[in-house]
Structure 1
Amino acid sequence: MAQQGQENNPIIVVIAGRPYPLRVAARDEEGLRVLVSEINDRFNDFQVKYSDRDKQDCLVMTLLTYADELRSARNMANTSQGGELAKRLEALNVLVEGML
């Protein structure tokens, strides 16, 4: 979150009804609060959809959805290891060269 040597502000975020004290750079606070809101919204959706599950199960499902999205985003951006973005760019390059 915050780089070493930068001013960190203490904040408390609440996820699934539990408070978590954090220290974040002022420039990162707004983005973190938006992320916490998204996490809580997704957690609440899981609680409604899977009312027979306990809180921890819903938190894990929330975590897994974010982890999957992060993995997908990394795969798209990973041009050095033949990621999806690299494949798409290569396909576009072939099309452009074919038109020249």
Structure 2
Amino acid sequence: MASSSSDKNSILVVVAGRPYPLRVEAQEEGDVRALVKEINERFNDFQVKFSDRDTQDCLVMTLLTYADELRSARNLADTSLDGELAHRLKALDAIVEGML
């Protein structure tokens, strides 16, 4: 059953210093915010490690790191989509969908 728009919260997240409005399921808001925090931490690590690179380069390196992890996780995930891994993948998917 598809959830109605009333089940979604409008939130504003900041990734790499830029704000992005998202609509997320109410029960997933905390997970999305935690994932954004993790993304920003990884992005900041790349900025420190590669101070000669611009913001876009560091953001792409962050994206590629997550894409590789997502690909690996999908290869390992069972088809039932239960557990912590599936929950994190759904949160990441919500962020990506919100940015598109």
Task: Tell me the residue number matched to 1:55.
Answer: 55
Task: Tell me the residue number matched to 1:40.
Answer: 40
Per-residue CA shift, 1:17-44, capped at 9, x if unaligned?
1000111111010000000000000000
Divergent runs of 4+, >3 A: none
Give ranges in structure 2 of 5+ residues lacking alignment.
Answer: 80-100
Structure with the bigger RCO (C-alpha within 8 Å, sep 6+) is: 2
Query: 1:31 aligned to 2:23?
Result: no
How many residue pairs get matched? 77
Asked which structure has the greater CA Rg, the reply is 1
Report percent identity of matched pairs: 71
Residues 78-89 of structure 1 mapped to structure 2, 5 A cutoff: none
Q: Supply the distance in 2 between the matched residues of 1:33 and 1:50 (Cα, whole angstroms).
A: 25
Task: Tell me the residue number matched to 1:5.
Answer: 4
Amino acid of the residue matched to residue 5 of structure 1? S
Q: Supply the distance in 1 between the matched residues of 2:10 and 2:17 (Cα, whole angstroms).
A: 19
Per-residue CA shift, 1:37-96, capped at 9, x if unaligned?
0000000000000000000000000000000001111111267xxxxxxxxxxxxxxxxx
TM-score, reference length from structure 1: 0.72
- What root-mean-square deviation, in Å, do the aligned CA atoms of Structure 1 and Structure 2 show? 1.5
